[in-house]
Structure 1
Amino acid sequence: MRQLPPLAAVRAFEAAARHRNYTRAGEELGLTQAGVSYQIKSFEQRVGTVLFVREGRAMALTPAGEALAQRVSQAFATMESAFAALAQTEDQVLSIACFQTFATKILAPRLGSFQLAHPEIAVRLVVSDAFVDLEAGECDLAIRLSRDAPTGLQVHRLNKLGIAPFASPAFVEANGELQAGDPPIAEDHRISPNNAWWREWDDARCASRDGNDGQRQPRGLEFDSQQLDAAAAISGNGIAILAPTLFLSEVTDGRLVRVGTRVVRPGGYFRLLYPEVRRHSPKVRAFRHWLERELEPCLAADPGCLEGMERA
């Protein structure tokens, strides 16, 4: 175990040795002259020798004080350098954890503009549907889709989840019943029919799943991401249940069309999360503001996403 004097006393000694004046040392440290004097006396008692002597109105270091002041000053300079290096490293790299579809559809096509605006920050994108431990420092921040906000983290809602069925124009044209205002969607037309969002969709429409009693497993193409569901739908393999916010480009260029007019909001938000200790981090603040600006076109295209939004 290290046997060191109290840091407050060491700081008082280092400042007084630099200034040769207790008053100016106190101004630097936010202490009174008496407070600095008390810390110096305690420090001298701790090290067992006199470190300062008075010369008129000034304070002079004793030979022991001179020798110690040089070493202490070097130690403080080393600590300053270490903290500066840490701050520089921390500010230079931004690590983002994000689930696959958001990373592919929102971040990857746009991160170039963030790099242009902030060339001093390198971005590392960790794409995974598994939760990373932000408080343990595995990443600086994360983007997650969830019903409930996690505790112990700074949380910013990006937009509210909406879901709707989408298919290729050719698939809709080939199945005339899908052109009605709010058509039922047969189970054998559904891509990833076990996706919980399909149940949310049926519940919102007060519809059953073609007599499925919960025992029979629906058949059909089954994928583990919206990105793959959308690709299958674009290829004409059926109807995918998707978050419209993430597929604006496919809808805009006509590769996907919404089946019906309804958008269901099952409860859930895309959220930006980061630990409390990074609340004032310049790189985190810069990314947050940039992402909110980038999402504005998505929100404008789907105004319902603004319902219940909180902007911190």
Structure 2
Amino acid sequence: MTSKKLPPLSAIVAFDAVVRLGTFTRAATELYLTQSAVSKQIKRLEESLGTQLFERRGNEVSLTGNGAVLYRAVTQSLQCIKEAVQQIDSAQAPGLSIAASSGIASYLVIPLLSRFRKLHPQVNVRVVAVEDRRAIDFSATDFAIAYGDGQWPALRSQRIAEEEIFAVCIPAYRDRMQVRGLADLARCDLIELESNDPATLSTRQWMRRVGFEGRHQGTILRVSSYDLAIKAALAGEGIALAWAEALPPEVDGQRLCRACPETLLTGQGEYLACPASRELTPLARTLWEWVGASS
């Protein structure tokens, strides 16, 4: 078999059509050929393989054992070809890529792109999440989400969200601990987001920034990501911080609620940014202008 040439693709296509449609006539119609042409393709295929592929009963045909073996291989091969073509088409379609820290990617970038894709449903999008926002490579994607005051001479940027931070917990925890105001957090369990980024506030730092002057007496649960902090709060483990610009859907008053009225506006924000020297592609410019009009 290794010395034989592969059968012509046209014969394989005709074979596939005959099996799927059950007759040479219907296969010919699908392939825009005459029935005689399809019969010649199948005969050519059988001769090249040295075996009969079909049993003929009037107009109807059925596979022989060897025909069934070939059809399984043909089906798998054609499916692989279809998937490859789809992958090539997708790679050639217009696309956008955005990098952001993991929490911002989940709760700010994905909802933002979801709204954008409702207007541009054919756009391919790649979201790159990084654990440390300081490690974002602005040259590796069309855009990245930058955190700060927007004063970056090397970047083109526009603010998409102002930083606002407040404390959240589940209603049952708030009621059990009888939390009525900021001072009551002194006896609550706190969920601390550990980060090497000095701009990321801990829950106790936030409490001091919004006016708490007492001493915290509860326990501390330390987690390594924003997602884990929210999950811990949902599990009733205590008070966590939530960022309004990256607000999880659970903060709806039913599953998670504000623990106290205090909120912190830091003056910082999240910005859609890219190198100032880069010329935007037409699709990137469309997103840029849409964000500007939506802000």
Mapping 1:67-216, distance limit 5 Å: 92-109=94-111, 111-130=113-132, 131-134=135-138, 137-147=139-149, 149-176=151-178, 178=179, 180-186=180-186, 189-192=189-192, 196-198=201-203, 199-210=205-216
CA RMSD of superposed structures (Å): 3.0
Letter in 2 for 1:111: L
Is contact 2:193–2:223 with CA below 8 Å preserved after alignment?
no
Map of 1:26 onto structure 2 = none
Question: Deviation digits for residues 136-177 of structure 1, max 9, x if unmatched?
Answer: x3111101333564330001111221111100011111111x
2:246 corresponds to 1:246: yes
Partner SS state of residue 264, structure 2: coil
C-alpha distance 291-148 of structure 1, shift in aligned 2 (>3 A): closer
Letter in 1 for 2:137: D
Partner SS state of residue 241, structure 2: strand
Query: What TM-score, normalized to structure 1?
Result: 0.55
Q: Which whole-Å CA distance do the structure 1 matches of 2:286 and 2:224 have between them?
A: 32
Q: Which runs of 4+ in 1 moved over 6 A?
A: none
Is contact 1:91–1:282 with CA below 8 Å preserved after alignment?
no
C-alpha distance 158-109 of structure 1, shift in aligned 2 (>3 A): closer
- 1:192 shift after superposition: 1.0
Q: Which whole-Å CA distance do the structure 2 matches of 1:108 and 1:169 have between them?
A: 27
Q: Which whole-Å CA distance do the structure 2 matches of 1:186 and 1:279 have between them?
A: 52
Letter in 2 for 1:196: L
Is contact 2:156–2:276 with CA below 8 Å preserved after alignment?
yes
Q: Which whole-Å CA distance do the structure 2 matches of 1:144 and 1:248 have between them?
A: 20
- 1:236 shift after superposition: 0.6
Map of 2:224 onto structure 1 = 224
Map of 2:268 onto structure 1 = 268
- 1:231 shift after superposition: 1.3
**Unmatched 5+ stretches in structure 2:** 1-90, 195-199
Q: Which whole-Å CA distance do the structure 1 matches of 2:111 and 2:148 have between them?
A: 23
C-alpha distance 284-253 of structure 1, shift in aligned 2 (>3 A): farther
Mapping 1:19-58, distance limit 5 Å: none
Partner SS state of residue 210, structure 2: helix
C-alpha distance 267-110 of structure 1, shift in aligned 2 (>3 A): closer
| Aligned length, in residue pairs | 197
- 1:234 shift after superposition: 1.2
Is contact 2:102–2:131 with CA below 8 Å preserved after alignment?
yes
- 1:189 shift after superposition: 1.0
- 1:273 shift after superposition: 0.7
Is contact 1:201–1:264 with CA below 8 Å preserved after alignment?
no
Partner SS state of residue 210, structure 1: coil
Question: Deviation digits for residues 15-71 of structure 1, max 9, x if unmatched?
Answer: xxxxxxxxxxxxxxxxxxxxxxxxxxxxxxxxxxxxxxxxxxxxxxxxxxxxxxxxx
Q: Which whole-Å CA distance do the structure 2 matches of 1:166 and 1:127 have between them?
A: 24
Query: What TM-score, normalized to structure 2?
Result: 0.58
**Unmatched 5+ stretches in structure 1:** 1-88, 212-217, 297-312
Indicate the structure with greater helix content.
Answer: 1
Partner SS state of residue 162, structure 1: strand
**Worse-superposed segment, 137-146 or 159-168:** 137-146
- 1:186 shift after superposition: 2.6
Q: Which whole-Å CA distance do the structure 2 matches of 1:292 and 1:169 have between them?
A: 37
Letter in 1 for 2:210: A
Q: Which whole-Å CA distance do the structure 2 matches of 1:163 and 1:191 have between them?
A: 14
Letter in 1 for 2:119: A
Indicate the structure with greater strand content.
Answer: 2
Q: Which whole-Å CA distance do the structure 1 matches of 2:216 and 2:114 have between them?
A: 46
Q: Which whole-Å CA distance do the structure 1 matches of 2:255 and 2:102 have between them?
A: 20
Q: Which whole-Å CA distance do the structure 1 matches of 2:206 and 2:272 have between them?
A: 24
Is contact 1:187–1:193 with CA below 8 Å preserved after alignment?
no
Question: Deviation digits for residues 59-101 of structure 1, max 9, x if unmatched?
Answer: xxxxxxxxxxxxxxxxxxxxxxxxxxxxxx8982211001111
Q: Which whole-Å CA distance do the structure 1 matches of 2:213 and 2:92 have between them?
A: 52
Percent pairwise identity:
24
Q: Which whole-Å CA distance do the structure 2 matches of 1:118 and 1:229 have between them?
A: 34
